[in-house]
Structures are given as structure tokens and as C-alpha cells.
Structure 1
Amino acid sequence: MIRYPAYAKVNIFLKITGMRGDYHTLSSRFMRVKNLFDTLWFEPKSTPEFEIRGNFDCDVRSNTIYKAYKHLLAATRSDKLSEWMETHAVCVDKRIPSFAGLGGGSSDAATFLRMCNERLELGLGVEELAEIGANVGADVPFFVYGYESANVTGIGEVVERFDEPLLDFEVVTPQIQISTPAVYRYYREHLYAPIGAEETARLESTPSRTILASMTPTEANDLYGAALGCYRELNEKEGWFFSGSGSSFFRIKDEE
């Protein structure tokens, strides 16, 4: 069976731009981590229940892959899809840490959508897949598009490719399970200061290497201070940037 990589991402910058109902809107640069990825493939099985084989810390129905399947099935009403998943398990070699701000669950969901579309010839365009993926999670569209670097805005549904060299990252993940809703809630209650349109435009047009060379980790990520406030056991790492709502830190490999 063909194996598909599901890459991690880091947030070069992450700035809150406002609120849309109960959701925070943002402007962020997502960049692929080329040396950190899960691997997905299909394997024949003998029982009809939806099956995910891999080291996950949640039940099947809470898994982003299962959620992606349900949304894909609802969108396509494909007998081919339901019959395929009755006879095949989704296998995942899990390497991306969970609760880490690296998008592992979102990347797995996006990769599953692309696998099904390709293997079963469902005929969906990337825009349609991204729209389905957005129902699973805010970060899923970025991974559906497969860009190495992109500006992501709105609540994550607007993804625009950013043309720049892919950087090589070193990533460390403290053994702290961070709740993304808790971090956003802390930010909203204690640190809320949305960025203006002019600063947003400046960041979205600036190369990632320049941003990392000119901003501090706290300046680059609005959620960093909120995560530190929520989780006292989370320690600052000098010279390292913070991805998403955490708990992972990253830096460019050639920067000592």
C-alpha cells in the first residue's frame, strides 16, 4: 500500500486580529516541518467497524481521522468510500506529539482526506477538500493544500501560499499537555490586544527568516504569554520560538 506523510507545522508568527462570534480570528504564518511527520496508509481488515491502528490517546470517535471520514462521507455520500472503510483500516505511524501546537491531528485528518480522494477517485478538488476539512478543525485546510509555507487568516479557513525557502527546524516538546481552549480563554480574559490591519499586512509580506531574526518569541506569538500564564510548569526557553498554543518550541537549525 502507498504510504502518505502527514507533516507537522510551526507558527512563525501568530497574531490575534479580533473575534468572530465565540472564535478568535488570527493572522499566522504556517510552515511545514520537513523532518517531523506521521505516516498513514491503508491495510485490509476483516471486521466492518471503522478502525484506526496506531498509538493514539483518544477513542476512535474522538479521533480527527474518524471525524474527517464522517464529514467526507456526508459531503460525497459515496458508497465506494463506506465500502472501502468497511474492508480497510487506517494505519498511522505516529511521530508528531499530541497537544503540542504542531498540528498533528489536523495533518492526519487532511492526509486521510487526500488519501481517500486519490485512492477512491472521488473527484474532489482541493478547495472542496479544504472546505470539508475546515469542519474537522481550523488547521486542517492548511494541510489539505499541502503548501510548505502559507499565510493563514480568518479562523484558519483562508490559506494563501507564501513563496519562500523551506527552513530546517529543531523542535522540542515539553511533557505538558496544553489545552488550546484554556490558552485562548486566558488570552481573551487577560491579554486581549488584537493586531491592526497595517501590522498584519507587514507581517504577512515578510519572509519567515526575517521575522524570526527581528522579533522576540513573545512578540511573534500572542498565545505564548497566555500559555505561560495558564501553565506555570511551562518554562521559557531563550532563543526558541513557541508554536501555536504550545507546548512545542522551535528554532532554525543553523541558528546557534
Structure 2
Amino acid sequence: MIRYRAYAKVNIFLKITGTRGDYHTISSRFMRVKNLFDTLWFEPKATPEFEIRGNFDCEVHSNTIYKAYKYLQSATRSDKLSTFFENHAICVDKQIPSFAGLGGGSSDAATFLRMCNEELELGLSVEELASIGANVGADVPFFVYGYESANVSGIGEVVERFTEPLIDFEVITPDIQISTPSVYRYYRENLYDPISAEEVARLESTSSRAILTSISPKEANDLYPSALGCYSELNEKEGWFFSGSGSSFFRIKEDTHG
């Protein structure tokens, strides 16, 4: 069976632009972490229930892969899809930490959708897959498109490739499980200050390396102060940027010494 890589991402910047109902709209630069990924593949099995093999800390029905399967099934009504998963399990070698701001669950779901489309020849376009993936989670479309770097806006559904060299990152993840809804809620109640359209345009046209070498971690990510306010056990790390709602920190690898 072919093995597929589900890469992690970091948010070079993440700025709140406003709200849409209960959601916050964002402007963010997502960049792939090339040395951190989960590996997914299919394996034959004997029982008909949908099966995910891997080290997960949630029930199957709560897993993003299972949700992706259900939305794909609903969108395609494919008998081939249903039959395949009566006879095959999806296997995941999990390396991306959960609840870490690295998009592991979203990347797994997106990679699963792409695997199904390719292996079962479902004939869906990448745009159709991204639309299905958006039902699973806001970050899924970025991973469906497979870009190394992209500007992501709206509530995550608008993904525009940003052409630039991929940066080699060092990533550390404190052992703190952060709730994204809690961080957003804290932001809305205590720190709400949407960025201007002019500032969005400036950030979205600036290279990731230039951003990381010109602004502070708290300026780069509106959710960083919110996460610090929510979680007293989360400590600032000098010179490290904060990814998504956390808890992971990252920096450019070649800037480290020793």
C-alpha cells in the first residue's frame, strides 16, 4: 500500500479581521513543516466497522478522519467507498502532537480525503475535496490543496498559494492541551481588536522570513496573548513564535546556535 505524508503547519502570522456569526474571520500565513508529519496508509481488515489504527486520544467517531469519511460518503454516495472501508482500515503513524496548533488532525483528514480520491478514483477536483474538508475543520482546505505556503482567510476556507522558499523550522510543544474555542472566546471577550484591511494587505504580500525577522511573536499572532491569559501554565519563550492557538512554539532553525 502507498504511504502518504500528512504534514504539520505553523502560522507565520495570525490576525483577526472580524467576526462572522460565532466565528472569527482571520488573515494568516500557513507554512508546511517539512520535517514533522504523520504517515497514513490502508490495510486489509476482517470486520466491517470503520476502523482507524493508530495512537489517538479520542473515540473513532470524534476523529477528524472519521468525520472526513462521513462527509465524503455524503458528498459522493459512492458504494465503492463504503465497500472499501468494510474491508480496509486507515492506519496512522502519529508524530504531530494533538491540541498543539500544528494542524495535525486537519492534515490527517485532508490527506485521508486525497488518498480516497486517488486510490478509489472518485474523480473529485481539489476544489471539491477542499469544500468537503471545510465541513471537518477550518484548517482542512489548506492541507487539501497541498501548498507549502499560503495566505488563508475568511474562516479558513479561502486559501491562496504564496510562492516562497520553504523555511526549515525548529518546533517545540509544551505538554499543555489547549482548547481553541477557549482561546478565541478569551480573545473576543478581553482583547478584541481586528486588524485593518491595509495591514492585512501588507502582511499577505510580505515573505514569511521577512515577517519572522521583523516583528515580535505577540505582534505576529493575535491568539498568543489570549492563550497566555487562558493558560497560566503556558510560559513565553524568548525568540520563539506561537503557532495557531497553541501550544507549539517555532523558530527558524538556522538562527539557532549549537
TM-score of the two chains, using structure 2 as the length reference? 0.99
Distance 1:176 1:197 in 2: 34
Shift of 1:52: 0.1
Distance 1:88 1:52 in 2: 10
Q: Paired residue for 1:247? A: 247
Q: Paired residue for 2:56? A: 56
> Which structure 1 residue ranges, 5 or more long, are not aligned?
none
Shift of 1:254: 0.6
Distance 1:239 1:210 in 2: 15
Distance 1:21 1:99 in 2: 24
Q: What SS does structure 1 have at the residue aligned with 2:185?
A: helix
Shift of 1:33: 0.1
Q: Does 1:120 find its partner at 2:114?
A: no
Q: Does 1:204 find its partner at 2:204?
A: yes
Distance 1:158 1:82 in 2: 30
Distance 2:85 2:109 in 1: 15
What does the per-residue CA deviation read over 1:105-158, in whole Å, with 9 as the maximum and x for residues that have no partner? 000000000000000000000000000000000000000000000000000000
Shift of 1:9: 0.1
Q: Paired residue for 2:79? A: 79
What does the per-residue CA deviation read over 1:46-68, in whole Å, with 9 as the maximum and x for residues that have no partner? 00000000000000000000000
* Aligned alpha-carbon RMSD (Å): 0.3
Q: What SS does structure 1 have at the residue aligned with 2:206?
A: coil
> Which structure 2 residue ranges, 5 or more long, are not aligned?
none
Distance 1:245 1:103 in 2: 10
Q: What SS does structure 1 have at the residue aligned with 2:35?
A: strand
What does the per-residue CA deviation read over 1:81-103, in whole Å, with 9 as the maximum and x for residues that have no partner? 00000000000000000000000
Aligned positions, number: 256
Matches within 5 A, 1:37-48: 37-48=37-48
Q: Paired residue for 1:132? A: 132
Distance 2:79 2:7 in 1: 29
Give the residue type in structure 2 aligned to 1:55. Answer: N
Please list every run of at least 4 consecutive aligned residues from structure 1 whose deviation after the TM superposition is greater than 6 angstroms: none
What does the per-residue CA deviation read over 1:190-225, in whole Å, with 9 as the maximum and x for residues that have no partner? 000000100000000000000000110000000000
Distance 1:158 1:246 in 2: 22
Matches within 5 A, 1:154-233: 154-233=154-233
Identity %: 84
TM-score of the two chains, using structure 1 as the length reference? 1.00
